[in-house]
Amino acid sequence: MADTPRMLRIAAAQLGPIAKDEPRTDVVNRLRAMLADAATHGVELVVFPELALTTFFPRWFTEEVSGHDQYYETAMPGPETQPLFDDAKNLGIGFALGYAELTPEGERFNTTILVERDGSVVAKYRKVHIPGHDGDEPWRPFQHLERRYFQESDEGFPVHRAFGGIVGMATCNDRRWPETYREMGLQGVELIMIGYNTPIHYAPDPGQNALQGFHNHLCMQAGAYQNGTWVVGVAKGGNEEGVESLAQSAIIAPSGQIVAQAMTTGDEVIVADANLDWCANYKETLFNFATYRRPELYQRIGSQKGVIEPPT
Ligand code: CDV
């Protein structure tokens, strides 16, 4: 008789806008409402977006980096976020939560924490690919100063045994890079959780604006399929402080198909039953890395800077 499939009921808890002056406790209450809603549907793991506790503050320049300190967490859980951890334990529901982290050493990371169903911390992921710019660029209709307010993590893309499978995390711009998925794919990942804040307007090349929704799903669906993994992509969408951001949160199967998608640009919970054993259908056939993947034959990929000079 076949083994019982490893089923995990997962949710993407999309957030609508968070106002600049919205108190942290109000935001936490919005998250708690979504956790409770998900729990009534038997969900075991809820994924919240990138920087889910505050407005997307890197859109405003401050002379001193510390000018935005009020948006960072110095402890997780802290006094305002502890109720989320208590809910996790009481409801038996895990979550992934994106937030701005300020360490005791003064380092600033764009971080996601993964919490198990008993309220314990499984892992912390710090964003690797930091987009945008670090200097004041007032010509833009709004700025994207992530490179001023966050440093790049050198901790890579580890995976973790949790929720009955092998899980990993990535954050927003990470989802556009194939290496993100492949690093975790090589470690056997079965579920990747990704939060994002993606403004529709892309100042360096507004020609991409109309394609934001397409590119969002394109990269996550490809990453899921090419690595035989579930992907949960969850937005903070809608019009936040005058900036329109992409919603379209999605849960994607190892086939690359979207099995659930948000319909609104506000707070919305979408749910899917993820059969983690489906990953093997791809990992053990078309994308059997051990049998078919040939990095030793990809002659130039090992170049130090990752950039290959074209022939002259
Ligand atoms: N928060 C992000 O990482 N946003 C980027 C934008 C700036 C392009 C993204 O990749 O969606």
Q: Which two tokens stand for residue 191?
A: 């579920």
Cα–Cα distance for residue pair 92/31, rounded to 1 Å? 15
| HSE-up of residue 225 (Cα within 13 Å, Cβ side) | 10
Q: Which residue has the tokens 């993100």?
A: 180
Atom of ligand 1 nearest to the CA of 127: 3
Q: Which residue has the tokens 């936040």?
A: 240
Q: How many CB atoms are located within 10 Å of the residue 117 CB?
A: 16
Tell which residue, 168, 175, 278, has the closest CA to residue 223: 175
Q: Nearest Cα to 58, choosing from 187, 173, 154, 223?
A: 173
Residue 270 or residue 309, greater confidence: 270
Give the residue, out of 198, 212, 236, 248, with the most ligand 1 atoms within 8 A of its beta carbon, to mutate for a pocket test: 198
Q: How many CB atoms lie within 10 A of CB 205?
A: 7
Q: Give the CA distances from residue 79 to residues 7, 12, 66, 73, 83, in Å, rounded to whole numbers and listed in that order.
A: 34, 25, 21, 10, 8
Q: Is the pLDDT of residue 302 over 70?
A: no
Q: CA separation (Å) from 238 to 131, 198, 212?
A: 20, 10, 13
pLDDT for position 298:
81
| Residue 297 binned pLDDT confidence (cut-offs 50, 70, 90) | confident
- Both tokens of 267, joined, read 């707070």
Q: 121-142, pLDDT tens digit by residue?
A: 999 999 999 999 999 999 999 9
For the chain, how far is it from start to end, CA to CA, in angstroms?
A: 61
Is the CB of residue 136 less than 8 Å from the CB of residue 152?
A: no
User: Span 40-62, mean pLDDT?
Assistant: 98
Edge to edge, the sheet with strand 258-261 lists: 159-162, 165-171, 191-196, 230-235, 250-252, 258-261
Question: What's the pLDDT score for residue 3?
Answer: 83
Listed residue (131, 181, 193, 139) closest to 157, CA to CA: 181
* Residues recognised as catalytic: 50, 127, 172
* Mean residue pLDDT across the chain: 96
Q: What is the pLDDT of residue 296?
A: 85
Q: Which two tokens stand for residue 88?
A: 């996790």
Say how far apart CA 143 and CA 140 lie, in whole Å.
Answer: 6
pLDDT tens readout for residues 162-200? 999 999 999 999 999 999 999 999 999 999 999 999 999
127 CB near ligand 1 (under 6 Å): no
pLDDT of residue 310: 73
Annotated domain spans of the chain:
7-284
Atom 10, ligand 1: residue with shortest CA distance: 173
Type of residue found at 177: W
CA distance 80 to 67: 21
Given a cut of 60, is residue 1 above it in pLDDT?
no
Q: pLDDT band at residue 99, thresholds of 50, 70 and 90?
A: very high
Q: Give dist(CA 274, CA 53) in Å, integer.
A: 27
What is the arithmetic mean of pLDDT over 100-110?
98
Ligand 1, atom 11, lies closest to the CA of: 198
- Class in CATH terms, 7-284: alpha beta
Return the SS3 of 53.
coil
pTM as predicted: 0.97
Question: What's the CA-to-centroid distance between 198 and ligand 1, angstroms?
Answer: 5
Q: What does DSSP assign to residue 110? A: E
Query: Reduced to 3 states, what is the DSSP secondary structure of residue 109?
Result: strand
In this prediction, residues 40-57 reach a mean pLDDT of: 98
Residue 197 Cβ < 6 Å to ligand 1: yes
pLDDT for res 84: 98
Nearest CA to ligand 1 atom 4: 198
Q: Atom 9, ligand 1: which residue's CA is nearest?
A: 173
